Structure 1
Amino acid sequence: KRAMNLYPYQELFFTTLQYETLKPVFGGERIPISELPKNVNILLLTGIASPQQMIVDLQPVSKNITPVTFGDHHQFTAADIERVCQTFDSMPSPKMIITTEKDATRLTHTGDIPDDVKKNIYALPIRIKFMQDGEEEFNNKIISYVRKNSRNSILAKRKDDHKS
């Protein structure tokens, strides 16, 4: 905090990501990461700006991670799905596909995913965890700010909104 030389009205909160239980994208049972077989082969399917941290974070779970990456906000095409399926089919068992929640949402709107592949696709939910017990203080500051400034908010409806 000292190195950032904050102004008196500024505050700094530290957070980290915490992974939660794997959630099947197309139905099935949730799986705690800790319960994955040590020899599981993971196809990591991402359309995010920087998938490297996910790869690093999953390495304690599996030494066999095959990343299939796309650019941030990628809309999956039939060719992309074919590439994923071919890669997945070439992997030895036990195997699974892990993706982000954001990409899982895009996959549910993509056709042409075979059922045998669908049953192996899991989203890895993340949760923001405040460090140094800062969550309550952060939430209170946000709530306080909104309460004090809601009448000036551009989101607040004004009496003359109907006029041009």
Structure 2
Amino acid sequence: MMRQRRLEIVRDNTVTKAEQKQHGRSLAKGIAAGLVGGLVATAARSLSHKVYPPRRNGEPERPELPSGQPTGYALALRRVAASPAMHWGLGAAAGAAYGAVAEYYPQATSRDGASFGMTLAAASQDGALAALGLAAAPAVEHSTREKSSDMASFIVFGIVTETVRRVVRRLI
């Protein structure tokens, strides 16, 4: 009976009041589980780009910088934003934030994390990064393949983050 109930919880992605009391809410545990989930999801997102790359073989890469040469601070900021350490750091931070929110607002885990991934895609590509000048502005036209590859990789990120977060949270 207990095994069947646990399977229902995993399938429905809901938690009863009794289970909340049993495990308790903990911001630190939520952040830790989300951080681990975000790191694993960053690796999964990188792999998804290899499986479904934004450009086909032989297609030229888009230039990192616009035609007008930025100087000083703007150039340094763009180089840092393109670094692998920044991607891993942002993945970990997004996962930690997601873990904290999921701890107190379980509805945030809807669609097993896919909605989290789509929200990140919208915020990062057309939102905050573009506003800061760290990503191409939405006016720059990307190919359909680039858009779909990017969205798919963010959905993979969200689903992996939620799956790993859920497992880690149960273990700690």
User: What is the TM-score with the length of structure 1 in the denominator?
Assistant: 0.24
Question: Looking at both structures, which has the greater relative contact order when contacts are Cα pairs under 8 Å and sequence separation is at least 6?
Answer: 2
Structure with bigger strand share is: 1
| TM-score, scaled to structure 2 | 0.24
Higher helix share: 2
Q: Which of these two proteins has the greater Rg computed from alpha carbons? A: 1
